[in-house]
Amino acid sequence: MRPLFVRRKGRVYSYYVGPAPLLGIIGPQQADALRRVPCAALEGILLRRLGHLIDRDERTISIDDLRRAVARVEIRSDCVHLVVALRALKYFREDLNPAAAVEARLISGDRVLAEVNRPGHIRIALPIRMKVRGGRTWFSHQGREVGADADAARSAALKRLRSAHEAFALARPGLSPLRHVVRTARTPTADFRKYAWVFLAPDIQSAILTGGISTGAIAKLNTQKAIPLSWEAQRRLLGIDGAAQADMLGA
């Protein structure tokens, strides 16, 4: 497939387009073969999967990184197959070798298959299928749109951040005698979920408020038992570099 850009009603749409069928070559069973795939939808899936594998915020992964890691993508009727280079995965994360280490980090529902055509590569089957309706095309995951879970995660993160500020504002006078405890983030366990996100770096909070934070970063924040008070330590925890920080601040 090759990239194609289409301008329509003042907007630009990007697709990956396959070759047109040759008259007399293609059979009737292949008449409905997929010819066009939205770039953003496909690249979003690949970035999320790669980010999860190498434990990096998907916003910090460039298209060049994606090309280095993903050797082939096959869009089938009921799933999507990724053929990934093990050497590239090891470049991004040392412990992602052999294939068993990759399998241990897969998202629930993904599975590893044998890859016989490319030595040094691993094939991953994703339970994602293409859906077409009314001229619109998107990917769905086990009957739900791929973006639905991400939207729900970002919405929950937004509610948690707002609740943290509301709860902390009410508790602030009572915490003043315990300022040294707050500064070392040694808040009582029962209060941690209420207050912890108040201490997140401004750019991280801004990303949560604007929906610019990745679902991988949200998941990592949700699993933390303590939040480091150093903003730089928080950014390292979430795999946010300077470029991604600038993106968040500009979101």
Which domain-ending residue is among 142, 169, 185? 142
Same structural domain, 138 and 160: no
Mean pLDDT of 55-79: 86
Same structural domain, 82 and 190: no
Same structural domain, 83 and 34: yes
Same structural domain, 201 and 89: no
Cβ atoms of 70 and 83 closer than 8 Å? yes
Q: Considering only CA atoms, which of 89, 79, 75, 76 is closest in space to residue 121?
A: 89
Q: Note the pLDDT of residue 143.
A: 40
Which helix (H) or strand (E) covers residue 236, if one does? helix 231-237
Q: Is the pTM of this model over 0.75?
A: no
**Domain tally for the chain?**
2
Same structural domain, 177 and 118: no
pLDDT digits (tens, 9 = 90+) for 189-214: 556 667 789 889 999 999 898 888 87
Domain interval for residue 157: 148-250
Same structural domain, 130 and 167: no
Cβ atoms of 251 and 207 closer than 8 Å? yes
Q: Reduced to 3 states, what is the DSSP secondary structure of residue 242?
A: helix
Same structural domain, 102 and 27: yes
Which domain-ending residue is among 105, 122, 142? 142
Mean pLDDT of 58-63: 88
In the sheet that holds 36-38, the strands lie side by side as 2-8, 11-17, 36-38
Greatest mean pLDDT among 136-150, 161-175, 184-198 lies in: 161-175
Cβ atoms of 187 and 195 closer than 8 Å? yes
Check whether 170 has a pLDDT greater than 60. Answer: yes
Rounded to a whole number of angstroms, the distance between the first and last alpha carbons of the chain is: 31
Same structural domain, 217 and 168: yes
Of 13-22, 71-80, 95-104, least confident by mean pLDDT is 13-22
Same structural domain, 189 and 211: yes
The per-residue DSSP string of 71-96 comes to EEEEE-SS-EEEEEEHHHHHHH-TT-
Check whether 77 has a pLDDT greater than 80. Answer: no
DSSP, res 187: -
Mean pLDDT of 98-127: 85
Same structural domain, 136 and 111: yes
Alpha carbon of residue 91 to chain centroid: 19
Same structural domain, 216 and 152: yes
Crossing angle between the packed helical segments 39-54 and 146-175, to the nearest 10 degrees: 50
Same structural domain, 12 and 109: yes
Query: Cα–Cα–Cα angle for 64, 68, 69, nearest 5°?
Result: 120
Q: Note the pLDDT of residue 149.
A: 63
